Chain A
Amino acid sequence: MSLFKKRAQYTIITPPAKKEIPAGLWLKCKGCATVIYKSKLEENLQVCPHCEFHYPLTAAERIRLLSDEASFVEMDANLTSVDALAFAGTGIYPQKLAESTAKTGMTDAIVTGTAALDGRAMALGVMDFRFLGASMGSVVGEKVTRLTERATQERLPLVIATASGGARMYEGMLSLMQMAKTSAALAVHQDAGLPYIVIMTHPTTAGVMASYATLGDLLISEPGALIGFAGPRVIKQTTQSALPPNFQTAEFVLAKGLLDRVVPRSQLRRELSLYLQYLAQAK
């Protein structure tokens, strides 16, 4: 029988003795476990040069990537969240907000404003997952709504880079209603004949996905991004069945017909510029 025995498909290597990795300079890639220079990663737009794993960008990095230098003018930067429900009476929400602000220097999970890309004006919103999982509360909803209203008023294309764990539980139904509010503003923007481009970044889910993230004329995503409505664990529990391979990834929803394109970050700026060019007559 040894004739048919499969030959080993692997080579045994002895792992080299553990090298001391100076903290802060290197990191082990989440995608391929290769050790990479942080500076190299930064140069490469936070994409692993070996396996193309896309690390999240901060809102500031994303804005730099998608707009002409110094063209971004922020609006509504002074809006901050309020513990309107006095959630659980424990001060847990204000504490989470303070932690997120300390960590990110941001006031909430989205930055909005006007900007230009290759000289073309746009209304631009960028979410940042580091701030409370980029959950949508009243501030996120209000800022998206104002951004959309501004785009309608000034006849601008609207571009939003989404990321979100969903509605912000600490604001209860106030957060759910932001789905309706943002969609209302988008209805007017759409009826005005203006284009809307969504760039879904990892992860775009739940309440944000079921409102402004899926209402774009163009729906674009980065490779490997998680895109889905319900959490995979909930689905597995409810349906008692195995999930298909790559379930709820950008590639999966592209194949299922939701997305227009999955675009590697290195191409994103150039492509966005092209979209704006192709859509330039819609104004």
Chain B
Amino acid sequence: MPAVLEFEKSLVELEDKVRQLREYSRSQGVDVSHGIGLLEDRIAETQTQLFANLTPWQRVQLARHPDRPYPKDYFQRLLTDFLELHGDRRFADDQAIIGGFAKFDGEPVMVIGSQKGRNLKENVRSNFGCANPEGYRKALRLMQLADKAKLPILSFVDTPGAYPGIGGEERHVAEAIAVNLREMFKFQVPMIIVVVGEGGSGGALGIGVGNRVLIMENAYYSVITPEGCAAILWRDASATPQAAEALKLTSADLLRLKLVDEIVPEPAGGAHREFDRAAELLGQAIRRNLQELRALSPAEWVAQRYEKFRRMGVFSEPEGIRP
């Protein structure tokens, strides 16, 4: 039974009708193609309308949709010869972030990705995609290996955030993220980041520095969860949609603020409705960006990454006052 979000309901109901009608047509041998055609037009129209007017909070819900494709689903569709590499050589193998060698279009790359589970068992293993320090340290180790082997790095981000646990504090998750941030500016390989679902604050950024940062249409990327923001600023959980709006966390907002480079379109109705098509669209975007980046030199990759993040921020600096 697929999960259905509140605002998807009208759409799903129409689709159910079409399915029933088809079944009826098949079993009874009656031609209802005209009616089906009309319904399908209405589906398309509803979908267009619904998705043109999604609120930021609805986007967040789509990004968290339980049926949404996770990084691993894209790995399966976009990569071959994936060899997962385990462990941070310090403490554990954190399954909230996975990675390893793989081939994209037959060319070797290093791939990193958050991992969420589809069921309780998987989620216990991957901690709902919330990494501990070991996840970030493993990612760093793999990226350093990619740097040595001169392999492009592809990072797929989909995490609610780093795990706020006692062990994480005891083993210094903040330091693990900080070191990643610093080291990711040093690698002499092209790096492409894709936020495919949730971009949960520092936990996402910890594997999120690259030459190109792409974001899927219905993904979000935020400094704090809308729930957290509502609790702090409004002291009221019902202000969550308001917080989602205020934080400017949607793909369109982030492109406008020049914090991401490109929005990857999703199939009509969201990536969860057509995994293959979603992967195809994502693959196209990665391919094009990788091709462009391959034309640069190692020094240029490093300089470009620096310049890109160096420009981020908005402030006022009155002319003439600066000595």
Contacts and interface: CB of A to CB of B under 8 A. Distances in A.
Given A214-B174, A247-B169, A180 B181 contact: yes
What class of interface size applies to chain B in its complex with A? Answer: 35 or more
Interface in B221-262: 221-224, 229, 232-233, 242, 245-249, 254, 257, 259
A177 interface: yes
A169 interface: yes
B17 interface: no
Given A82-B315, A82-B316, A173-B223, A183 B259 contact: no
What class of interface size applies to chain A in its complex with B? Answer: 35 or more
A198 B183 CA distance: 18
Nearest to A76: B322
Residues of A contacting B: mostly: helix
A212 B174 CA distance: 10
B78 to A, nearest CB: 26
A186 B186 CA distance: 11
Given A145-B310, A235-B166, A238-B165, A173 B259 contact: yes
B263 interface: no
Given A82-B314, A172-B222, A184 B166 contact: no
Interface stretch (B21-29, B47-55, B201-209): B201-209
Interface string B85-121: 0000000000000000000000000000000000000
Interface in A71-107: 75-76, 78-82, 84-85, 87-89, 92
A142 B315 contact: yes
Given A82-B316, A172-B249, A248 B169 contact: yes
Nearest to A85: B248
Contacts of A173: 221-223, 247-249, 254, 257, 259
A151 to B, nearest CB: 15
B5 interface: no
Contacts of B183: 187
A179 B159 CA distance: 18
B315 A81 contact: yes
Interface stretch (A42-50, A61-69, A202-210, A268-276): A202-210
A147 interface: no
A157 interface: no
Most buried by A among B171, B247, B322: B247
Interface string B174-215: 110111011101100000000000000110011011000000
A141 B53 CA distance: 34
Nearest to A258: B172
Nearest to A204: B174
B172 A214 contact: yes
B223 A138 contact: no
Interface in B302-319: 305-306, 309-310, 312-318
Nearest to A227: B174
A183 B185 contact: yes
B224 A181 contact: no
Interface string A106-150: 000000000000000000000000000000011101100100000
Contact of B223 (A89, A167, A234, A243): A167
A230 B322 contact: no
B1 interface: no
A235 B162 CA distance: 11
A191 interface: yes
Contacts of A53: none
A87 to B, nearest CB: 5
Given A176-B205, A177-B309, A239-B166, A253 B172 contact: yes
B173 interface: yes
Contact of A179 (B169, B205, B224, B321): B205
Most buried by A among B174, B175, B322: B174
B292 interface: no
Interface string A239-274: 101011001100001001110000000000000000
Nearest to B202: A210
Given A180-B209, A184-B309, A210-B174, A79 B246 contact: no
B315 A139 contact: yes
A190 B182 contact: yes
B170 A256 contact: yes
Contacts of B223: 167, 169, 171-173, 175-176, 207
Contact of B232 (A141, A169, A228): A169
A221 interface: no
A138 B168 CA distance: 28
A178 interface: yes
A154 to B, nearest CB: 15
Most buried by A among B166, B168, B221, B257: B166
B246 A88 contact: yes
Given A82-B316, A173-B254, A87 B246 contact: yes
A41 interface: no
B224 A243 contact: no
Contacts of B246: 85, 87-89, 172
15 contacts: A81-B316, A139-B313, A173-B221, A173-B259, A174-B313, A176-B201, A179-B205, A180-B181, A181-B309, A184-B305, A209-B178, A212-B178, A214-B175, A235-B164, A238-B163
